């Protein structure tokens, strides 16, 4: 069945239409159901006793007074619950990776301020907090390891005894033969050292769970805000010693995730254990202070990179050292290797880099652990690459856009020095369009004029691609013990002709209820109002890997299309029997199977009636019911969305403010299933990238005490800081996803820091100062502007 | 526990009467309970959300006598005698009001967690300043945090809704008094016919505090 036959004349092509979101009515009217909206009879409320110090032996934990607080029902320590640790592993030798366990509740040692030590369960959340205050914990302090320098210093105290040198991962890769000679002989070698601030992915809905035991099903129900429901089920079952079928994870509406919720947390498992012990539902909703200090954090990385260029500005080699500060624990299932492995495997990005060498390390410190966050190392290495090209352009007297043009990949498929094969994209075209937009709008002239007036306006770009649709092959290459990749979709049509579609992906704001329904509606020639998407329920969905790494449309969407297509074949088979014509003479559309030769049609409802209620009329060999299942995996290196961002900034003397005057994004995500949703993902991603470039940073004092404990210190940008973004679309369809779509969830965040940083440095050009670290604070801008060449 | 139990112990209760969305609720609750907790967990009006509990993010924004307030920053007891409006009051049955529709049309929400706060913020503001410029709207939108949208489409949705309300008002005035509208909003004339069928014109322009179910 071809795409055309699914959309006969007069049928609406759902793919490519900015149809209104199916999610909106309930979310706009206050009828969404988020985790904290759930109330069950007899429900209790949990809060956690957390470590007040960064690094210590726990010498005593006394919960006696806690249990006497009015309203408190129970309090449990690690010893009370006896739960197995959560351990994430890579299939690598210990010389490369050291697995470390994360206890559900800390036992003899605490490794960061905020680490949970005990769970207090009470009649309401207020009483639970009273109970937490009554806990008595005694510590034998250990020297805290708060920085990379402290972690890697000889003889440093160890966060995990088994991880010598506080190193969880240490890999050296590629090392192209002769690379040292390349650098020795190159006419131009530039160096960039960058440190990026620790961030919080910061979904506005914090993490949370309602745990309850279902006596009839003999099953623990975890209603929890997670991007990875099946991984939470696996982990909870293992920690609690239950069969996996005895745990059901159901995901309510989610108020964002951005990666923080694609790892398994310890609190939801502790709440589940408490519910099992007490035989009553237990709710835990993280408060903002814990979300800022004790949840999963992200991004703190250090790059020390050299690049060699020939006299014409062609890059000859790249030599990188990367250290990622992963905090106290390895996250499950990805491990502490996720950031350094992503960075080292993909750093050459959109450029033709002939020689490459990289050493990448993950270190452990006494800070809250990290999880993947939208972009995963790509915001950082793109920043480094784009700074290297800008610096080389200055040294060689080239325009920043010209040096990029000379190095961008233009012939596809292209297999890079990093052994990654890039599918077709529009790297050069997006740069050219972005530059021409800024030129035509007069920003180059405005910059000249402003400079003459003593103002500081700069223009910066970033060129990048976003690898999406990581299949099992790609994750297996990282040697993950748990290998994500495929997605399974089941479609089921009922006797009213309505379609239920399952997906293993997990929307947390990305509009899957709309976009996946568009794909199914298109494939079956069905009105979108007849399609309902089911996600986030481990009892309803065979298996799924959830939503992360921009995998949902590329992989989940392909599975939906394949399953829908199979159901279409079954509809045609039944209709062929009814109309007594060969199946190849029939096509689907507008809720009907039709025979174009004679104009006869059979509505889907009639075929469903046969499939279920008059199965004696089914053709031989056709099973009753109208269901179909399909899976999809990506067995190559995935598909690459790409974009160029162009930014104009003005730096203000005195305040040090970086004002963004113009933001242009030219993006290419292949076929856009719903362009409005694509633009929403892009704008929102850019806002988070700007947040990292200019505003947000998780900070600690020298004892490892978190100093960004509220939104007063952790500065989330508002509508006054985030500019309007002008988006231009290019379309290079993906050849191997079923819809031609590529993922687009992370690109905005990946490209923004580099473009902002380059624009700031362009404005600083007359000062001779270059800024390479993020966030760029007002203080650094003020001090840079005080320099004169 | 000692004999001198702190005042906030669970035993103490207070009888409260709250006027929410035109309905009077009587409840017995601890004095320390915040307005947002009482709305969400005692009255089960869970459309109002909690994002930070320290008055920055604005997810808990409700209207108190027509003005936007942070429901996490006040005790329920402090709202006695006031008219409280929450997001649940905006739609007429299953029909979204014009502001809600504008949010949907402009893709002004993604995960939807912050959305009720922005809706109530905008309702309160537009009732006060129906003629607000887009820049004023942007400044007010900066009162609350959104992590998904980048704000642009929220600003556009509110601006579009405000323009349609002005156009609807003007066309009503013209219809009754044959009045030629002033020129300031002339660009809105073009949109007067595109007011969506669900637009709650009856609520325009006198704010939204007097509506009852």
Residues B58 and B151 in one domain: no
Distance in angstroms (rounded) separating the CA atoms of residues A590 and A229: 35
Distance from CA of A19 to the nearest CA of B (A): 9
The answer to whether residues B77 and B155 belong to one domain is no
Last residue of a domain, one of B64, B88, B112: B88
Rounded distance between C-alpha atoms, residue A494 and residue A488, angstroms: 20
List, as ranges, residues 8-67 from B with C-beta within 8 Å of A: 8-11, 30, 32-33, 37, 40-41, 44-54, 56-57, 59
The pLDDT value recorded for residue A640 is 97
CATH top class, domain A374-470+636-786 = alpha beta
Residue B11's closest chain A neighbor by CA?
A70
- Residue B105 φ/ψ, nearest 5 degrees: -60, -35
pLDDT at position A478, please? 86
> CA A3 to CA A519: how far, in whole Å?
11
Identity of the residue in B11, B52, B152 whose CB atom sits nearest the CB atom of A724: B152
Per-residue CA distances from A338 to A119, A223, A585, B56, B129 (Å): 30, 27, 51, 33, 50
| B49: in domain | yes
Q: For position A477, what pLDDT does the model report?
A: 87
Burial class, A774, CB count within 10 angstroms (exposed 0-12 / middle 13-18 / buried 19+): buried
Residues B52 and B132 both lie in one domain: no
Q: Does A511 touch chain B (CB under 8 A)?
A: yes
b/e for B3-16, b at 16 or more Cβ within 10 A?
eeeeeeebeeeeeb
User: CATH top-level class for A3-32+486-632?
Assistant: alpha beta
The answer as to CATH 3.90.1170.50 being correct for domain A35-142+206-254+261-293 is yes
User: What's the gap in Å between the CA of A623 and the closest CA on chain B?
Assistant: 40
The reported pLDDT for the residue numbered B177 is: 66
B125 assigned to some structural domain: yes
Nearest to A461 by CA among A412, A502, A404, A505: A404
Per-residue pLDDT of B158-208, as tens digits, reads 999 999 999 999 999 988 765 544 444 444 444 333 333 333 433 333 333
User: Do residue A710 and residue B139 have CB atoms under 8 angstroms apart?
Assistant: no
The ipTM estimated for the assembled molecules is 0.96
Q: Work out the minimum CA distance from B167 to partner chain A, whole angstroms.
A: 24
**Residue found by looking up tokens 């003479």 in the block:** A585
B211 domain-assigned: no
Q: Are residues B134 and B184 in the same domain?
A: yes
In DSSP notation, A252-310 reads -B----TTTTSS--SHHHHHHHHHHHHTS-EEEE--HHHHHHTS-BB--EEEEEEEEE-
Residue pLDDT, tens place only, A626-683: 999 999 999 999 999 999 999 999 999 999 999 999 999 999 999 999 999 999 999 9
Of the partner residues A124, A204, A509, the one whose CB lies closest to the CB of residue B59: A204
Enumerate the β-bridge partners of residue B68: B63
Alpha carbons B190 and B193: distance in angstroms, whole number: 7
Percentages (nearest 5) of helix, strand, coil residues in chain A: 30, 25, 45
In the predicted model, residues of chain B with pLDDT beneath 70 are 1-11, 177-213
Domain stop point among B40, B56, B88: B88
pLDDT in the model for residue B203: 35
Whether residues B30 and A126 touch (CB distance < 8 A) is answered with yes
Mutation target to probe the B interface, by most B beta carbons within 10 A, among A19, A23, A24 is A24
In-domain check, residue B93: no
Q: Is A611 helix (H, G, I), strand (E, B) or coil?
A: helix
DSSP state, B30? Answer: -
| First-to-final CA distance of chain A | 67
Q: What's the distance, Cα to Cα, between the start and end of chain B in Å? A: 46
The residue length of chain B stands at 213
Q: Are residues B106 and B70 in the same domain?
A: no
Interface of A with B in 307-346 (CB under 8 A): none
B94 touches chain A (CB under 8 A): yes
Q: Which domain holds residue B52?
A: 14-88
CA distance B117 to B121: 6
Beta strands A188-196 and A301-309 are antiparallel
pLDDT at A174: 95
How far A22 CA sits from the closest chain B CA (Å)?
Answer: 10
| B109 and B183 within one domain | yes
Q: What is the pLDDT of residue A10?
A: 40
Per CB-CB distance under 8 Å, the chain A contacts of B112 are 23-24, 27-28, 32, 253, 255, 509
pLDDT score recorded for residue B175: 82
Which member of B40, B56, B103 has the closest CB to residue A711? B56
Q: Which A residues in the span 220-259 are in contact with B, Cβ-Cβ below 8 Å?
A: 253-256, 258
Residue B58 lies inside a defined structural domain of this protein: yes
Residues on chain A touching B8 (C-beta within 8 angstroms)? 126, 130
Total number of domains constituting chain B: 2
Work out the minimum CA distance from A385 to partner chain B, whole angstroms: 26
Alpha-helical (H) ranges within A469-618 are: 472-477, 512-524, 557-579, 604-612
Output the DSSP codes for A764-776. Answer: TGGGT----SBS-
Q: What is the DSSP string of A115-137?
A: -EEEEEEESSHHHHHHHHHT-EE
**CATH number where B73 lies:** 3.10.20.30
Burial B164-173 (b: 16+ CB within 10 A, else e): bbbbbbbbee
> Using CA atoms, how far apart are residues A250 and A232, in angstroms rounded to an integer?
10
H or E element in which residue B179 lies = none
Which of B54, B142, B150 is closest, CB to CB, to A710?
A: B54
Q: Of A472, A545, A467, nearest to A506 (Cα)?
A: A545
The pairing of beta strand A101-102 with beta strand A109-110? unpaired
Do B153 and A680 form a contact (C-beta atoms < 8 A)?
A: yes
Q: How many residues would you count in chain A?
A: 789
pLDDT at A787: 83
Q: Which residues of chain A make contact with B100, given a CB cutoff of 8 A?
A: 28-29
Strands of A396-486 (E only): list them.
414-415, 421-422, 456-468
Q: What is the CATH number of the domain that holds B170?
A: 1.10.150.120
Give the one of B47, B54, B151 whose C-beta lies nearest to A30's C-beta: B47
Peptide bond into B157 cis (omega under 30): no
Q: Say if residue B44 is in the same domain as residue B84.
A: yes
Residue B162 and residue B192 share a domain: yes
Please give the angle made by the CA atoms of A48, A213 and A223, to the nearest 5 degrees.
65
Q: Please say whether the beta carbons of A779 and A758 come within 8 A.
A: no
Q: Which two tokens stand for residue A136?
A: 């008595």
Same fold, A35-142+206-254+261-293 and A374-470+636-786: no
Phi, psi of A363 (to 5 degrees): -115, 160
- A648 three-class SS: strand
Cβ–Cβ under 8 Å, residues A485 and A653: no
pLDDT of res. A481: 87
Residue A441's pLDDT is 98
In sequence order, the β-bridge partners of residue A190 are A307
Where are the domains positioned within chain A?
A: 3-32+486-632, 35-142+206-254+261-293, 374-470+636-786
Asked whether the beta carbons of A201 and A259 are under 8 A apart, the reply is yes
The series of mean pLDDT values per 10 residues for chain A, 789 residues long, is 34 85 97 98 98 98 98 97 94 95 96 98 97 98 98 98 97 96 98 98 98 96 98 96 97 98 96 97 98 97 98 98 98 95 96 98 98 97 98 97 98 96 97 98 97 96 96 89 94 97 96 97 95 97 94 96 98 97 96 96 97 95 96 94 98 96 98 97 98 97 97 97 98 96 96 98 95 96 85
Kindly tell me the sign of the dihedral angle through the C-alpha atoms of A11, A12, A14, A20: negative
Please, what is the Cα angle at A24 between B135 and B150, to 5 degrees? Answer: 35
Cβ–Cβ under 8 Å, residues A478 and A641: no
Give the integer Cα–Cα distance in Å for A233 and A87.
15
Do B106 and B83 lie in one domain? The reply is no
Burial class, A712, CB count within 10 angstroms (exposed 0-12 / middle 13-18 / buried 19+): exposed
To the nearest 10 degrees (0 to 180), the angle between helices A604-612 and A557-579 is 80
Within 8 A of A686 by CB-CB distance, chain B residues are 150
φ, ψ at B21 (rounded to 5°): 50, 40
Q: Is A221 helix (H, G, I), strand (E, B) or coil?
A: strand
Q: Which of B56, B88, B120 is the last residue of a domain?
A: B88
A130 vs A122: CA distance, rounded Å: 9
Residues of chain A positioned with their CB less than 8 A from the CB of B1: 68-70
Rounded distance between C-alpha atoms, residue B13 and residue B36, angstroms = 17
- Interatomic CA distance for residues A124 and A336, integer angstroms: 36
Separation in Å, CA of A249 to nearest CA in chain B: 20
Q: Which two tokens stand for residue A431?
A: 């740069």
Q: What is the dihedral of CA A110, A114, A119, A122, to 10 degrees?
A: 160
Is the minimum CB–CB distance between A24 and chain B shorter than 8 Å?
Answer: yes
Q: Give the helix/strand (H/E) hosting A357.
A: strand A356-363
């Amino acid at each position: 069945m071809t795409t055309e036959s699914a959309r006969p004349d007069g049928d609406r092509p759902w793919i490519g239409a900015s149809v209104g979101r199916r999610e909106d009515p309930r979310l706009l009217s206050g009828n969404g159901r988020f985790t904290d909206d759930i109330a069950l009879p007899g429900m209790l409320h949990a809060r956690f006793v957390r470590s007040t110090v960064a690094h210590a032996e726990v010498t005593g934990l006394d919960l006696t007074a806690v249990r006497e607080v009015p309203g408190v029902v129970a309090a449990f320590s690690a010893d009370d619950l006896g739960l197995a640790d959560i351990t994430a592993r890579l299939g690598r030798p210990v010389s490369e990776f050291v697995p470390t366990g994360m206890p559900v509740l800390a036992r003899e040692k605490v490794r960061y301020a905020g680490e949970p030590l005990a769970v207090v369960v009470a009649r309401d959340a207020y009483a639970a907090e009273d109970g937490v205050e009554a806990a008595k914990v005694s510590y034998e302090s250990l020297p805290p390891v708060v920085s990379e320098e402290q972690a890697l210093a000889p003889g440093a105290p160890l966060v995990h005894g088994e991880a010598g040198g506080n190193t969880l991962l240490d890999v050296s890769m590629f090392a192209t033969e002769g690379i040292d000679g390349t650098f020795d002989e190159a006419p131009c070698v530039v160096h960039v050292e960058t440190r990026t601030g620790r961030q919080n992915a910061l979904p506005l809905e914090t993490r949370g769970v309602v745990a309850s035991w279902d006596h009839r099903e003999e099953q623990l129900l975890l209603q929890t805000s997670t991007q990875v429901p099946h991984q939470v089920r696996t982990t909870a079952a293992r920690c609690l010693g239950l069969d996996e079928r005895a745990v059901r994870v159901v995901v309510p509406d989610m108020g964002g995730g951005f990666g923080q919720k694609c790892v398994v947390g310890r609190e939801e498992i502790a709440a589940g254990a408490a519910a099992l012990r007490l035989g009553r539902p237990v709710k835990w909703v993280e408060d903002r202070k814990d979300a800022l200090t004790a949840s999963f954090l992200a991004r703190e990385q250090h790059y020390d990179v050299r690049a060699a260029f020939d006299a014409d500005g062609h890059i000859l080699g790249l030599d990188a050292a990367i250290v990622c500060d992963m905090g106290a624990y390895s996250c499950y299932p990805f491990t502490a290797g996720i950031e350094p492995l992503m960075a080292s495997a993909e750093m050459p990005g959109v450029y033709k880099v002939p020689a490459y060498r990289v050493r990448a390390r993950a270190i452990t410190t006494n800070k809250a652990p990290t999880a993947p966050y939208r972009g995963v190392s790509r915001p950082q290495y793109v920043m480094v690459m784009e700074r290297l090209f800008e610096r080389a352009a200055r040294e060689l007297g080239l325009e920043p856009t010209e040096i990029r043009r000379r190095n961008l990949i233009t012939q596809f498929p292209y297999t890079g020095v990093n052994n990654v094969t890039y599918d077709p994209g529009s790297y050069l075209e997006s740069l050219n369009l972005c530059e021409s937009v800024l030129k035509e709008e007069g920003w180059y002239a405005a910059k000249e004029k402003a400079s003459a007036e003593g103002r500081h306006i700069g223009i910066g770009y970033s060129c990048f691609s976003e690898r999406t649709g990581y299949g099992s092959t790609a994750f297996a290459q990282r040697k993950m013990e748990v290998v994500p990749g495929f997605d399974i979709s089941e479609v089921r049509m009922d006797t009213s002709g309505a379609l239920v579609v399952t997906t293993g992906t997990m929307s947390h704001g990305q509009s899957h209820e709309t976009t996946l329904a568009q794909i199914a509606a298109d494939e079956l020639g069905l009105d979108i109002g007849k399609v309902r998407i089911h996600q986030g329920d481990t009892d309803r969905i065979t298996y799924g890997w959830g939503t992360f790494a921009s995998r949902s449309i590329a992989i989940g969407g392909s599975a939906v299309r394949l399953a829908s297509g199979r159901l279409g074949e079954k509809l045609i088979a039944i209709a062929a029997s009814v109309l007594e014509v060969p199946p190849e003479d029939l096509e689907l559309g507008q809720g009907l199977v039709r025979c174009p030769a004679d104009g006869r049609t059979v509505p889907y409802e009639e075929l469903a009636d046969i499939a279920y209620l008059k199965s004696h009329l089914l053709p031989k060999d056709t099973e009753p019911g109208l269901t179909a299942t399909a899976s999809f995996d990506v067995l190559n290196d995935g598909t690459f969305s790409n974009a160029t961002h162009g930014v104009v900034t003005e730096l203000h003397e005195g305040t040090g403010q970086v004002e963004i005057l113009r933001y242009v994004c030219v993006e290419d995500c292949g076929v856009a299933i719903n362009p409005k949703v694509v633009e929403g993902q892009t704008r929102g991603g850019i806002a988070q990238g700007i947040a990292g470039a200019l505003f947000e940073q998780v900070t600690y004092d020298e004892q490892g005490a978190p100093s960004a404990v509220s939104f007063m210190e952790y500065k989330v940008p508002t509508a006054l800081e985030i500019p309007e973004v002008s988006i231009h679309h290019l379309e290079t369809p993906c050849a191997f996803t079923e819809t031609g779509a590529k993922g687009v969830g992370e690109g905005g965040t990946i490209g923004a820091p580099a473009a902002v940083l380059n624009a700031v440095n362009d404005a600083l050009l007359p000062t001779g100062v270059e800024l390479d670290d993020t966030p760029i604070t007002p203080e650094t801008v003020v001090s840079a502007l005080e320099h004169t060449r | 526990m000692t004999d001198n139990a702190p005042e906030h112990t669970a035993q103490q209760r207070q009888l409260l009467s709250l006027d929410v969305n035109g309905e009077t609720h009587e409840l017995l609750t601890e004095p320390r309970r915040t307005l947002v907790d009482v709305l969400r967990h005692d009255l089960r009006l869970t459309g109002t959300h909690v994002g930070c509990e320290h008055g920055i993010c604005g997810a808990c924004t409700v209207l108190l006598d027509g003005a936007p307030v942070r429901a996490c920053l006040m005790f329920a007891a402090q709202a006695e005698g006031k008219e409280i409006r929450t997001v649940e009051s905006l739609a007429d049955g299953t029909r979204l009001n014009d502001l809600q529709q504008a949010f949907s049309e402009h893709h002004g929400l993604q995960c939807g967690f912050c959305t009720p706060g922005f809706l109530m913020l905008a309702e309160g503001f537009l009732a006060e300043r129906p003629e607000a410029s887009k820049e004023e709207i942007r400044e007010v939108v900066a009162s609350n945090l959104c992590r998904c949208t980048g704000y642009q489409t929220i600003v556009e949705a509110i601006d579009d809704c405000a323009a349609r309300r002005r156009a609807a008002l003007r066309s009503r005035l013209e219809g009754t008094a044959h009045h030629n509208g002033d020129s300031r909003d002339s660009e809105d004339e073009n949109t007067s016919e595109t007011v969506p069928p669900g637009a709650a014109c009856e609520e325009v322009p006198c704010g939204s505090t007097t509506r009852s179910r």
